């Protein structure tokens, strides 16, 4: 049996104008968020961790390809490697979006529908939705990624937030958008390490070693320079 690897995942989406026309918002209110089927993925950001929680690769899947090809690349990766997914609200958003959009393009996802552990909410065997787990599966209100990240010494959403994604995409600022997505991915990865400490799956020394390794990874990646510059190392490393 191959060793378990972990794929930290986050997606960025825009409204699919072919399928959805939002109502005009009332003055002083935000535009309604589109339904899941009309959320079109434009970036699939990932960080792939090995069995020792070292980063094997970080980047975006299907970069430069159209939506259908991007979804096919993601499905191919998942079928080949079968990593344990790590997300923040992935059960509520990222995975449903990817599956609905795969439905649109006829992209097969047997890794998801024929391996029940990816879809079973109360197991962390193949999908660890940190947002859901830390909310005790709905027993309490879910925390935002921004709030949880700041709790452990990360900056959370700095400079860009989800409300700006569509504008960045429409104006061709894809590098900024990819960097924003990867920042969320990296912060989710740090929260995953902290969750493993919380759950007793790592001791403090192992946590510090893994977190230092991840800090080195983001420091070496120009796309994550802003994140690296705003980490509270003492809080993050429990010094």
- pLDDT 10s digits, 139-158: 999 999 999 999 999 999 87
- pLDDT 10s digits, 218-235: 999 999 999 999 999 999
Q: What is the pLDDT of residue 169?
A: 92
Q: Which CATH architecture has domain 6-236?
A: 2-Layer Sandwich (3.30)
- pLDDT 10s digits, 12-63: 999 999 998 877 777 767 778 899 999 999 999 999 999 999 999 999 999 9
- pLDDT 10s digits, 69-96: 999 999 999 999 999 999 999 999 999 9
Q: What is the pLDDT of residue 27?
A: 76
Q: Which residues contact 178 (CB under 8 A, 6 or more apart)?
A: 43, 45, 60, 63, 223
Query: Above pLDDT 90, what percent of the chain?
Result: 87
Average pLDDT for 172-201: 96
Radius of gyration of the chain (CA): 18
pTM of the model: 0.94
DSSP the chain: -PPP-EEEEEEEEEE-TTT--PPPPPTTSPPPPPPGGGEEEEEEEEEEE-TTS-EEEEEETTTTS-HHHHHHHHHHHHHHH-PEEEESSIIIIIHHHHHHHHHHHT---HHHHS-GGGT-TT--SSEEEHHHHHTTTTTSPPPPHHHHHHHTT---S-S--GGGHHHHHHTT-HHHHHHHHHHHHHHHHHHHHHHHHHTTSS-HHHHHHHHHHHHHHHHT-GGGHHHHHT--HHHHTT-
Q: What gap in Å lies between CA 38 and CA 40, rounded to an integer?
A: 6
Nearest to 186 by CA among 214, 150, 159, 210: 214
Average pLDDT for 127-132: 98
Q: What is the pLDDT of residue 21?
A: 84
Residue 1 has pLDDT above 60, yes or no: no
């Amino acid at each position: 049996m191959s060793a378990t690897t972990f794929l930290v995942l986050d997606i960025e989406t825009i409204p699919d104008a072919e399928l959805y026309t939002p109502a005009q918002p009332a003055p002083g209110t935000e535009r309604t968020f589109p339904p899941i089927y009309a959320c079109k993925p434009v970036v699939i950001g990932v960080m792939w961790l090995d069995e020792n929680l070292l980063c094997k690769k970080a980047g975006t899947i299907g970069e430069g390809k159209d939506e259908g090809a991007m979804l096919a690349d993601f499905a191919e990766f998942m079928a080949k490697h079968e990593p344990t997914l790590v997300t923040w609200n992935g059960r509520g958003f990222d995975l449903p979006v990817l599956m609905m959009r795969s439905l649109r393009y006829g992209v097969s996802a047997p890794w998801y529908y024929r391996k029940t552990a990816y879809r079973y909410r109360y197991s962390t065997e193949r999908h660890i939705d940190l947002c859901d787990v830390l909310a005790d599966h709905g027993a309490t209100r879910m925390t935002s990624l921004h709030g949880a990240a700041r709790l452990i010494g990360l900056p959370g959403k700095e400079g860009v937030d989800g409300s700006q994604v569509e504008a960045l995409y429409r104006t061709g600022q894809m590098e900024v958008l990819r960097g924003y997505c990867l920042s969320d991915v990296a912060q989710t990865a740090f929260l995953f390490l902290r969750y493993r400490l919380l759950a007793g799956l790592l001791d403090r020394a192992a946590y510090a070693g893994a977190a230092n390794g991840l800090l080195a990874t983001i420091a070496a990646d120009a796309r994550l320079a802003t994140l690296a510059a705003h980490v509270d190392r003492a809080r993050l490393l429990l010094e």
